[in-house]
Structure 1
């Protein structure tokens, strides 16, 4: 049960967005830019970063949501997401994604944990400055989103299938369509 009365029974951030549509607008705009805007990282790769950080933060709603969003857009589907979150060293992702996810993991702990060595390893694996920038910003934003969702004790469905409908909406229409539209 959420810590505050939201006036709706929508899960996770969806309920929060219905509660505060004005903040939902800017949060969705940020997600749209970071996760779906023009970028050399695929949408699936960027969603994987969001799912990975959300898993590190133990935010069940955000992890399951973005795992579903990534799975719908990555070759290998949910298995690649779960394998990556379980063990980055053996994950079936590129060396560049591993390096970027290590940066994301450092940001998740505290921004100053990102080292010159992290950045050098990402560049050596082929990451551009924009990809490094966006990885840091995605990780930082998802720390905020995760804390927003869990800080107000929102409901998170246990069944992974509950997140498939959200994945279809996001993949087809994007964050600009607003997660709040689905309920």
Structure 2
């Protein structure tokens, strides 16, 4: 049970929090929309993998699983993607650029002084440009905040990966900005 009284107890994770405080919810949903679906040379699937990975490293089940489901929807992947993200893609071919950006995201997740020039240089050597590095850091930092928001208020989350598939489809194909507006109806 959530630590605060959320009026709509049917809404899981951050969606219930967006509904509780619609003004901040709209801003946070719009930020997610821009970071994960806005213009970028990184695909939405790649950005969702970054968000899901950071959420996994932060032990935020709701955010990890919902964003893995969105990555699945964007990439047309199977259910095994959930576990591949957790494992760091040992058996799946992902680009060296995405691997390097995930290393940067992991450094961001560890703390504010962990990204080093050598991490950035490595990402550039793997083909990442300044905007992609910037956006990776911002996605990772934002998801550290989102994860804490969800878990520090003890929101509920569906347990099984399969329960997130339709949510991931909606996030991938309808978007985040509409999530808060859908709760207003």
What is the TM-score when the length of structure 1 is the normalising length? Answer: 0.94
**Residue in 2 aligned with 1:4?**
4
**Residue in 2 aligned with 1:25?**
26
- The CA deviation at 1:134 is 0.2
CA contact (8 A) 1:55 1:63 kept: yes
Give unmatched runs, 5+ long, in structure 1. Answer: none
**Residue in 2 aligned with 1:101?**
102
CA contact (8 A) 1:84 1:92 kept: no
CA contact (8 A) 2:52 2:67 kept: yes
**Residue in 1 aligned with 2:147?**
146
What is the TM-score when the length of structure 2 is the normalising length? Answer: 0.93
**Residue in 1 aligned with 2:129?**
128
State which drifts further: 92-101 or 169-178.
Answer: 169-178
In 1, Cα distance between equivalents of 2:159 and 2:144:
21
**Residue in 1 aligned with 2:93?**
92
In 2, Cα distance between equivalents of 1:89 and 1:137:
25
Question: Matched residue of 1:170: which SS?
Answer: helix
- The CA deviation at 1:132 is 0.2
Q: CA RMSD in A?
A: 1.7
Equivalent residue runs for 1:1-183 within 5 Å? 1-9=1-9, 10-88=11-89, 91-178=92-179, 181=182
Question: Matched residue of 2:113: which SS?
Answer: helix
Deviation track 1:26-75 (CA, whole Å, cap 9, x = no partner) reads 00110011000000000000000000000000000000100100111125
- The CA deviation at 1:79 is 2.5
CA contact (8 A) 1:67 1:78 kept: no
